[in-house]
Amino acid sequence: MIIEWKGMSGYGDMISPLCYAQNMHEITGEKVTIIFFWSFPKDDLPETPDKRAQYIYDYMKLSGVKIKHRYERALPYKHTNYDIKIMDPQQILHNIYFPEVKVDPVDTLVCSPIRNQKSLAEIGKSFKDGLDKEEWEELERKYKIVDYRTPIDEAFKSFEKCKYFIGYQGSCAWIARLFGVPMTIHTATKKLAYWQFPWCDGSFWSLDEIKSDRDEYIKDLRRARSERAASI
């Protein structure tokens, strides 16, 4: 299976498709190639979005998934082989995957949007934030800070020591999800946050339930696929 994906800079734009590709490998038994298409040329800067995507892929050690990059090619669509309806409760587990990571839970991490180069309001995504600047600053005085400016190797090392995560709906929240970290997401759209980060504080899901149900989700789809093939 080949999945084409429009390359974007957010952690969710990388972690979500990589986890989805792994799940499709487990469901179909096929090797999956995910191709990220980047609108910019390849360069030697130390940390560009393509290098972050590659870092995450290497960190996850996905034996059934291969990653490729195409440069100076902006896809006219967002992706292929991804027929998922946002907010569909039956598809909430489609991109949930937990790689084997060692976490020594020590720190509470906070990721706020207050130092973003462009505010969430400027990019039309103010709905992803549920706190004001003063409330974020109060949290940052209490806990260790990570955000999208944190070098990715430093950010991942921080999550290896993370016991709890507090953030807005996006950015490093996706790394917390990848690491299976308990979390609070401050957002104006709680239903969407519960769908994207289903064990965050306030959701009716628990982390243990998600881990168990995710495995059953994969088994059920694999079984249904086998039964369809046998009936042909």
Query: pLDDT digit string (tens) for 41-71?
Result: 999 888 999 999 999 999 999 989 999 999 9
SS3 162: strand
Q: Is residue 80 a contact partner of residue 45, using CB atoms and an 8 Å limit? A: no
In this prediction, residue 222 carries a pLDDT of 94
Task: Judge whether residue 74 has pLDDT over 90.
Answer: no
What pLDDT band is residue 113 in, cutting at 50, 70 and 90? very high
In this prediction, residue 231 carries a pLDDT of 79
Instruction: Report how far apart, in Å, the C-alpha atoms of 125 and of each of 43, 69, 90, 140, 186 are.
Output: 29, 27, 26, 22, 13
Q: What is the mean pLDDT of the chain?
A: 95
For the segment 131-150, the average pLDDT, to the nearest whole number, is 97
For the segment 151-175, the average pLDDT, to the nearest whole number, is 98
Q: Is residue 173 a contact partner of residue 167, using CB atoms and an 8 Å limit? A: yes
Q: Which pair of structure tokens corresponds to residue 196?
A: 């994207």
Q: What is the pTM of this model?
A: 0.96
Phi and psi dihedrals of 31, rounded to 5? -70, 140
98 vs 229, higher pLDDT: 98
Q: Which pair of structure tokens corresponds to residue 101?
A: 């990571």
Structure-token match 């290896």, residue found: 160
What pLDDT band is residue 230 in, cutting at 50, 70 and 90? confident
Lowest-pLDDT range of 107-116, 128-137, 222-231 = 222-231
**Distance between CA 173 and CA 7 in Å, rounded?**
19
Q: Is residue 189 a contact partner of residue 144, using CB atoms and an 8 Å limit? A: no
